Amino acid sequence: MGAQWKAKGKDLAANARGRLFGKLAKDIMIAARNGADPASNARLRLVVEQARKVSMPKETLDRAIKKGAGLSGEAVHFEHVIYEGFAPHQVPLMVECLTDNVNRAASEMRVLFRKGHLGSSGSVAWDFDHVGMIEAEPLAAGTDPELAAIEAGAQDFEPGHEDGTTLFLTDPTDLDLVSRALPAQGFTVLSAKLGYKPKNPIDPASLSPGDLHEVEAFLAAIDENDDVQNVYVGLAG
C-alpha cells in the first residue's frame, strides 16, 4: 500500500469503472490547461495514455480535453485540497482532492473521517515525503530497474508490483527530467505525478485481520468519494 493506496483486486465493475473514468477526466482537464495537443503537452500525453489503457470511451476523453483547454465553452474550475488524518488504529493518511466545491468536499471529509480522525494542516504531513512518483513497466524481461533508476536520476525505486510495474521515486523538481530519461533505460512510463510517501509505514502484520479489514474498508470509503483523486497511506507493502 505504501506510496499510494489502491483497492485490492483493481475491481472494474461498472461503478468502480465510472469512478476511475471520473478521476482520469479531472486529470485530463487539468493537464489540458497547458494545451489540447498531447504531442506537445507531455503531461496530457501521459494521462491520455492511462485513459486509453483502461478503455475510456473516446468521446469522454475528447470532451475532457476540450473542457480543460477551454474549447467547449464550459467553465471548468477545480481546487486542489489536501486532507490529513488517521484511519482506524492510528494509520496516517493524506487525501488529495480536486473539487469544484470546497465546502462540499470539507463537509463530506468530516463525515468520512468519523471512523478515524481528521487532523489539521501539518498534523500528518510531517510523516510523509513529498516526492515525484513514476509508474513504469520494462520493455523487455530482465531489464534492471536499479540501473535504470541510477542512469535516469531517480532517488529510489520500488520493484515487484503485482502488475509487473516499477515505481521510481524522484525529487519533486526532477519528475519531468526522470520521466523523459527512463525510456532510454528500457522502461515505458505509464504515469508521472507528485505524491506522498510515508516515512515510517506501519507493518500490516502488526494489525489483526479484523483491524486491517477495518482500515481497508475506511480507505475504500474515502477513495469512493467523487472529489478524491489519490489516497496516500502509511502502511508498508
- In the predicted structure, residue 167 carries a pLDDT above the cut 50: yes
Average pLDDT, the chain: 89
Residue 235, beta-bridge partner list:
202
Provide CATH code, domain 79-126+206-233: 3.30.70.980
Provide the 3-class DSSP secondary structure of residue 207: coil
Segment 40-66 shows an average pLDDT of: 89
Query: Can you give the pLDDT at residue 71?
Result: 86
CB-CB contact of 181 with 134 (8 Å): no
pLDDT digits (tens, 9 = 90+) for 86-141: 999 999 999 999 999 999 999 999 999 999 999 999 999 999 999 999 999 999 88
Q: What is the pTM of this model?
A: 0.84
13 band by pLDDT with thresholds 50, 70 and 90: low
231 Cβ neighbours under 8 A, 6+ residues apart: 4, 5, 93, 94, 95, 96, 219, 222, 223
pLDDT at 170 exceeding the cut of 60: yes
Rounded distance between C-alpha atoms, residue 119 and residue 113, angstroms: 9
CA dist., res. 137 & res. 73, Å (int): 38
pLDDT band at 161 (very low <50, low <70, confident <90, very high): low
Could you confirm whether domain 8-69 is CATH 1.10.10.10? no
Query: How far is residue 195's CA from residue 132's CA, in Å, rounded to a whole number?
Result: 6
Q: What is the DSSP letter of 185?
A: G
- How is residue 74 written as a grid cell? 464550459
Residue showing cell 520494462 = 138
Q: What's the DSSP call for residue 48?
A: H
Asked if pLDDT for residue 162 goes beyond 80, the answer is no
Query: DSSP 3-state assignment of 178?
Result: helix
Model confidence at 191: pLDDT above 50: yes
Instruction: Please state the φ and ψ torsions of residue 92, each to the nearest 5 degrees.
Output: -75, 150
Residue 165 per-residue DSSP state:
-
In angstroms, the CA 237 to CA 228 distance is 22
**Sign of the C-alpha dihedral computed for residues 167, 172, 175 and 181 taken in this order:** negative
205: cell is: 502484520
Is 95 in contact with 82 (CB distance < 8 Å)?
yes
Would the CATH topology of 79-126+206-233 be identical to that of 128-198? yes
Note the pLDDT of residue 217.
94
Residue 5 reports pLDDT greater than 80:
no
Out of 3.40.50.620, 3.40.30.10, 3.30.70.980, 3.40.50.300, the CATH code matching 128-198 is 3.30.70.980
Q: What share of the chain is helix, strand, coil (3-state, %, to 5)?
A: 45, 25, 30
Instruction: Please enumerate in sequence order all residues whose Cβ is within 8 A of that of 122, keeping only pairs 6 or more positions apart, or say none.
Output: 84
| Strand blocks (E) in the chain | 79-87, 91-99, 117-118, 128-138, 156-158, 166-170, 187-198, 228-233
Cβ contacts of 121 within 8 Å, gap of 6 or more:
82, 84
Among 25-39, 61-75, 81-95, 188-202, the range of highest mean pLDDT: 81-95
Domain residue ranges in the chain? 8-69, 79-126+206-233, 128-198
